[in-house]
Amino acid sequence: MRRRTDRGEKQRRRPDRESRPAEVEEQTETQILKGRHPVATALQEGRPINKVMIAEGSTDGMQPIIARAKERGVVVQFVPRTRLDTIAGSTHQGVAAYVAPYAYAELEDIVARETGHAPLIVVLDGVTDPHNLGAIVRTAEAAGAQGVVIGRHRAAPLTETVAKAAAGALEYLPIARVANITQALDELKEAGYWVVGTALDADNRMVDVDYKQKTVIVIGSEGVGMHRLVKEHCDFLVTIPILGRVQSLNASVAAGVMLYEVVRQRT
């Protein structure tokens, strides 16, 4: 297995920090969180909640949610299931909550975050499906990542759909939303991270890279993969072996495979 040993093997370009565009402050509204595990996790982690709504007759498994809401002084309202369907759709599992929107973290805060493991950050380039984003957040948290970075444009924002797919992981894992992915990668390089991107035409296999150092894993969209400039900002491009006729993996599956190669090497 080939290993990198010379940090100078690739000359890196550095951004002009003076020309970095200012971030635009996000204005968000109250969101609806649905599903037993996401609501229970939000209550457990102390996320601001305005009200919990439970479908009438849905008593199985609801007592811990009700008890925790009462401990925190959160209003619990029992409503007809048809009303809950109208408010939260059909996948609410009998419970939903009005919550404050998820706050995006700063990239610098993710870099500084201590997890007890070697530093690891996931960067998503053009992942627009909220189910994929939620699944990636869930896997990244399980793999001990410091956080996930998404773009402000051509990317799924944090919504209740993402929260449900993440199954509570959004309460533990910070998400940064940046104006420019390539600038974010340059900042991560300056912080000592090696950037590894996935591409079908890469010369290296995913197992040919050493992930024991500070690592960024970049995942592109299913349709076009990584954009050209993002690909050029990677230190290494690797390919995930595919033996069948399908030429690409779902973005969340690709992220899971890559992250658990990182875990395999580190444990």
- pLDDT tens digits, one per residue of 202-217: 989 999 999 999 999 9
Tell me the average pLDDT across 208-237. 93
pLDDT band at 2 (very low <50, low <70, confident <90, very high): very low
Average pLDDT over residues 168-186: 94
Beta strands at 49-55 and 75-79: parallel, antiparallel or unpaired? parallel
- Mean pLDDT, rounded, for 17-21: 35
Contact 32, 98 (CB under 8 A): yes
Dist CA 24 CA 42 (whole Å): 27
Structure confidence at residue 229 (pLDDT): 95
Say what the pLDDT of residue 6 is. 45
Q: Which of 207, 219, 244, 248 lies closest to 121, judged by CA?
A: 219
Which position has the higher pLDDT, 108 or 241?
A: 108
Closest among 81, 110, 109 to 95, alpha carbons compared: 81
More confident: 167 or 5: 167
Nearest to 95 by CA among 60, 70, 130: 60
Question: What is the rounded distance in angstroms from the CA atom of residue 177 to the CA atom of residue 155?
Answer: 9
Predicted pLDDT of residue 223? 77
Half-sphere exposure of residue 29, counting CA atoms within 13 Å on the CB side? 1
- Domains annotated on the chain, with CATH: 31-99 (3.30.1330.30), 103-266 (3.40.1280.10)
Is the pLDDT at 155 greater than 60? The verdict is yes
